[in-house]
Amino acid sequence: MKTKQVFVLVALLLISVFASGQSGEVYSTKEGAIDGYDAVAFFKEQKPVKGKKEFSYEWNSATWYFSSQENVNEFKKDPEKYAPQYGGYCAYGTADGHKAPTQADTWTIVDSKLYFNYNQNVKKLWNAKQKEFIEKADKNWPTVKKQK
């Protein structure tokens, strides 16, 4: 078996293991939705920016944190515009039919929509067939979001 194939199999196995512990429609940790990162900042500053406890908003059964009141207000006006696709779960994992946690440094904006991946290696796989994976994930999300 080639090294790349082994890597892909290991990545998928790890995603499956971590996916079993995820619940809810939004990827949340003790730090909040999307690990406490400011969803609006990905669009405005083109980088991950940690939110602050004083700038929070409850939406879609999750607490979202922002780096400024201005960003809270922007999110409140149109949460669907700024919230990541698939609730912030891994886009690649969603395409494969399961939830997986994500890392903020894997973010991508495609057609004005925010996506995350499990890690940089999975992001490379996702980027190789991004359009195809988005189509699969869009079809899978109604079922995947109900997974515990």
| DSSP track, 102-140 | -EEEEEEEETTEEEEESSHHHHHHHHHTHHHHHHHHHHH
Is the residue at 148 inside a domain? no
Domain count, the chain: 2
Residue 2: give the domain boundaries: 1-22+85-142
Q: Kindly state whether residue 147 falls inside one of the protein's structural domains.
A: no
137 and 94 share a domain? yes
In tens, the pLDDT along 86-96 reads: 999 999 999 99
Q: Answer whether residue 91 is part of any domain.
A: yes
Least confident of 19-23, 58-62, 63-67, 90-94: 19-23
pLDDT tens-place string over residues 11-32 = 554 554 444 345 689 999 999 9
Q: Tell me whether residue 138 is in a domain.
A: yes
25-52 confidence digits (pLDDT tens): 999 999 999 999 999 999 999 999 999 9
Q: If you average pLDDT over residues 65-92, what whole number do you get? A: 98
CA distance 109 to 7: 26
What are the start-end ranges of the H helices in the chain? 3-19, 39-44, 69-77, 79-82, 91-95, 120-128, 130-144
Same domain flag for 55 and 37 = yes
Do 73 and 89 belong together in one domain? Answer: no
Distance (Å, whole) CA 14 – CA 19: 8
127 domain residue, yes or no: yes
Q: Are 52 and 100 in the same domain?
A: no
pTM of the model: 0.85
Give the DSSP H or E segment for 52. Answer: strand 52-59
